[in-house]
Chains A and B, each alone.
Chain A
Amino acid sequence: MENFIQVVVNGTLISGLYALIAVGLTLIFGVMRVINFAHGEFMMLGGYTTYWLFVLLRLDPLLSLLISMVVLAGLGLIVQRCLINPVLGASSLNQILLTFGLAIILQNVAMILWTSDYVSVQTWYSTHSLRVGFVRISVAKLGIFFMAIILMMLLGIILKKTETGKVLRAVSQDPQTAQLMGIDINRAYMIAFAIGTGLAGLAGAATSTVMSIFPTVGVEFIMKAFAIVVFGGLGSVAGACLASFILGVTESLVGTYVPGGGGWAEAVSFTVLILVLIFRPKGIFSS
């Protein structure tokens, strides 16, 4: 029983990280109707940014989190302008191949620059843990979890209340009408993409303190993000959070209690993805 609670707590804490990645992905798809297959690579780059700031400048991840987010949002802007925008009117085939190609490029650039070694940022809070009763809670993971919750709430407020948020929602519901109403649709695309990649960068930065960063780390995480987005419902921040929670806990349980362990946990997100798509094949990703 004690073990069980510990496992559930671990799964819950990790789900905050998943939500950060998934929400960026769903936001970009909602507004631009493009699935960014390179989304995981933006996360990976965010992780390396934090890592190198730590190694070279001894910058605490708490600070470099924000720097990573801004850097990745900027990179996202450039990518959106130069690569994604030109194919927005093209067939979905071109869009898929483009973002997939971008993912391959980023992965291999990282491989060359930083080798395929696993790296991580070691601070006092990455190894320190609290004891609540019999449950041990990693300080860093707890911090990430609360940061994710705050950010999700913030994003929810931005989307609901602010002018920009209204613009984004209008564009995601009906880009043509939004354009007719005088909304600068390109600006909306840029904002959505920048927020999305910024969140991915932040997630990568957070990952580097509690797990490892390596060039193909994004592939692992984007699978989970796909499952979450599909499961939680498109464009729904709350849905993504709930789906992240369920996925995180399920993975944690499978990893602990199923013989053969960690391998099967990796298959959880795929199973979720398939199951949801079987029962709601057109539901989420239909445009």
Chain B
Amino acid sequence: MKSIYVLVVTLAVGLMCCLPIFLGPHSLHIVILTLISLIVATSWNILLLTHQISLGHAGFFGVGAYTCGALCEKFMPIVPLDILVGGIIAALFAVILGVICCRMTVWAIAIVTLAFAEVLKVLVIMVPSIADGAEGIRVPPIFGGVGYEKIACFYLVLFVSLLSLTCAYAIRKSKLYYAFAAVHDDEEAAGMLGVNPLKFKIIAFSVSAFMTGVAGGIFAHYISFIDPYTVFGLHISLDAQIMPLVGGLYTILGPVIGSFVLTSAGEVFRIYFGSGYLIAYGCILVAFVLFLPEGIVGWAQRLARR
């Protein structure tokens, strides 16, 4: 059984590696964006393990992106170091936010994270001295903008998204999982078994924010131009939660399946509905909550058990 999994994963990764041969530039662009949102979705799912619901992952994404932008503007581009720094700064924000949030109920966390992302967006827009305001800033491409830029970016994003999935898998197989799951289900009972709930909630927050910040940094370099509406936008936070939900919350595979299903669906919607595709996203979110809250993976597992 285990060897089958290994085989499937190897095949899938191998197939992904070959993608640039088959795909045109536009399709490759879509795949790159999908992988970036896959990283964000995976990190959101990690935070969820401790029953903390973030409606503001766009905040961390934007912090990562803007850190890269600022570093490249003030100093010379130092890729990929600036991407890491972006992740670390996002994680620092998360530690502060985590310290504030860790005693709160899940409702309050949702509110605070939503407000966090919105306030960052408003501040960047309204206070031009922070980061050129609503105008946005240019970010140099990672590989110098030469002909193979997109393909190189694709492999970088593929590598990072595999790393994030490995990280999620490692958490699942480590002691952390037991602490996360205990804190998720019952903080008081977890405390009685020696688990410090606050510590693990903050760990989850910072790991999650780090990954999202890195994704934001890569996005900034890849798109090479960022503005507050794009990187702090609600659509990023929406992506982060709808993909795990559609694929399957609490699972590793969930965000993967969710991101690919949704992006493909999103492309179709974009053709038919134009800019209104977010309506479709919202409808999918509502429909899955109402009718299939365990997601595609959970549904498949249920079918398999029968």
Contacts and interface: CB of A to CB of B under 8 A. Distances in A.
Direct contact of A and B (CB under 8 A): yes
B156 interface: no
Main secondary structure of the interface of A (DSSP, over half): helix
A286 B107 CA distance: 8
B219 to A, nearest CB: 20
B289 interface: yes
Given A90-B293, A260-B129, A286 B110 contact: no
A105 interface: yes
B254 to A, nearest CB: 14
Contacts of A86: 290
Interface residues of B, number: 43
A112 B282 contact: no
Interface string A96-109: 11101111110111
A270 B115 contact: yes
Given A101-B286, A108-B278, A109-B279, A96 B238 contact: no
Interface residues of A, number: 48
A263 B108 CA distance: 24
Main secondary structure of the interface of B (DSSP, over half): helix
Listed residue (A86, A273, A287) with the most chain B CB atoms within 10 angstroms of its CB: A273
B100 A278 contact: yes
A281 interface: yes
B287 to A, nearest CB: 9
Listed residue (B53, B115, B116, B123) with the most chain A CB atoms within 10 angstroms of its CB: B115
A73 interface: no
Contacts of B123: 263-264, 266-267
Contacts, number: 138
Given A98-B290, A262-B126, A263-B123, A282 B105 contact: yes
Interface string A107-148: 111011000000000000000000000000000000000000
A83 interface: yes
Interface in B204-254: 234, 238, 241-242, 245, 249
Contacts of B234: 104, 107, 219
B127 A263 contact: yes
Contacts of B129: 260
A243 interface: no
Contact of A93 (B106, B115, B282): B106
B8 interface: no
Contacts of B116: 270
B282 A104 contact: yes
A97 B104 contact: no
A112 B276 contact: yes
A97 B285 contact: yes
Contact of B126 (A96, A98, A103, A263): A263
Give me the 4 closest cross-chain CB pairs, A-B, nearest first.
A263-B126, A101-B285, A105-B282, A104-B282
18 contacts: A35-B111, A83-B286, A87-B290, A92-B53, A93-B48, A94-B289, A97-B285, A101-B283, A101-B285, A104-B279, A105-B279, A230-B108, A260-B127, A263-B122, A266-B123, A266-B126, A270-B115, A282-B105
Given A105-B283, A263-B122, 14 more contacts: A96-B55, A97-B242, A100-B238, A101-B283, A104-B234, A105-B286, A108-B279, A108-B282, A223-B115, A260-B129, A263-B125, A273-B111, A281-B104, A287-B107
Interface of A: 35, 37, 83, 86-87, 90, 92-94, 96-98, 100-105, 107-109, 111-112, 219-220, 223, 226-227, 230, 260-264, 266-267, 269-270, 273-274, 277-278, 281-282, 284-287
